[in-house]
Chains A and B, each alone.
Chain A
């Protein structure tokens, strides 16, 4: 069901996605898909040399997961803006949870604009990404 602009309230928790534990295989797949072969994401030794316990996820993989959480709520074509800051590294085994809350709604022309926060954390509530997004929803006639 598509969300209805008129039914959305500021403060609503609208984003809620919990992913399966993230894996090294997923880092390799994302490297292949995105073309980002920085060994920090695929070679444990390089990860350790950089001060981590081993490999860490591409930031853009976690942003992709955050975007997935958004388009689980609204149709993709309603998404108009998304902005994130990368706050912490994601390690194999981490369980990423994405949440978001409505902060503002307004009408622009024939669209209802909804602004929300967007945050991705792990099982220890360590923040990986914080940001926000805006969606443009059709109005009831």
Chain B
């Protein structure tokens, strides 16, 4: 019998969330990564470099999926065991910066669930796509995430 690791009926299902971007969170995120670029903490330097305020780091948006509880909601809804997932890949396409005070609106979709036979049993790859927009309805970024369930 083949063990089922994720609920395939959920392919195509979308989950929405909103998250207010705080200035301190942008700075905390950059400091956790150890990135000293002043555009993440000094609004004056950021303006001189052509931004209207400090901006968020390239990988910042994903924090909204986690902080809003959306990631847990999606994984639970797919009947996936948290202890068995590994992050396999991540990608972004950027259209607009994220600024402090932005209200991020995200829509995460379960795009694909693919089975693969591994040496020590079945693996399942689950692919997600998240579209982020802001309070002005501007497209911010598109994010793809690949996790493996083993």
Residues A34 and B94 in contact in the complex (CB < 8 Å), given A83-B89, A85-B89: no
Q: How far is the CB of A118 from chain B (nearest CB, A)?
A: 11
Q: Please report the number of residue pairs spanning A and B whose Cβ atoms sit closer than 8 angstroms.
A: 102
- Contact between A65 and B34, CB atoms less than 8 A apart: yes
- Contact between A19 and B34, CB atoms less than 8 A apart: yes
Is A60's CB within 8 Å of the partner chain B?
A: yes
Is A109's CB within 8 Å of the partner chain B?
A: no
Is B90's CB within 8 Å of the partner chain A?
A: yes
Q: How far is the CB of B68 from chain A (nearest CB, A)?
A: 9
Interchain CA distance A107-B93 in the complex, whole Å: 18
Contacts of B3 in A (CB 8 A): none
Chain A binding surface, main DSSP class: helix
**The 9 nearest A-B residue pairs measured at CB:** A83-B91, A33-B32, A35-B66, A64-B33, A67-B58, A59-B87, A35-B67, A29-B32, A68-B35
Residues of A near any B CB (own CB < 8 A): 19-20, 26, 29-30, 32-36, 38, 58-61, 63-65, 67-68, 70-72, 75-77, 79-86, 131
Q: How far is the CB of A68 from chain B (nearest CB, A)?
A: 4
- Contact between B34 and A84, CB atoms less than 8 A apart: no
Interchain CA distance A80-B89 in the complex, whole Å: 17
- Contact between A33 and B28, CB atoms less than 8 A apart: yes
Contacts of A26 in B (CB 8 A): 32, 34
- Contact between B58 and A79, CB atoms less than 8 A apart: yes
CB closest residue in chain B, given A68:
B35
Q: List 15 additional A-B contacts (Cβ < 8 Å) besides A64-B35, A68-B33.
A: A19-B34, A20-B34, A26-B34, A29-B32, A32-B32, A33-B25, A34-B66, A61-B33, A65-B34, A71-B58, A81-B93, A83-B91, A85-B88, A85-B89, A86-B86
Residues A80 and B90 in contact in the complex (CB < 8 Å), given A35-B63, A35-B67, A64-B57: no
Contacts of B34 in A (CB 8 A): 19-20, 26, 65, 68
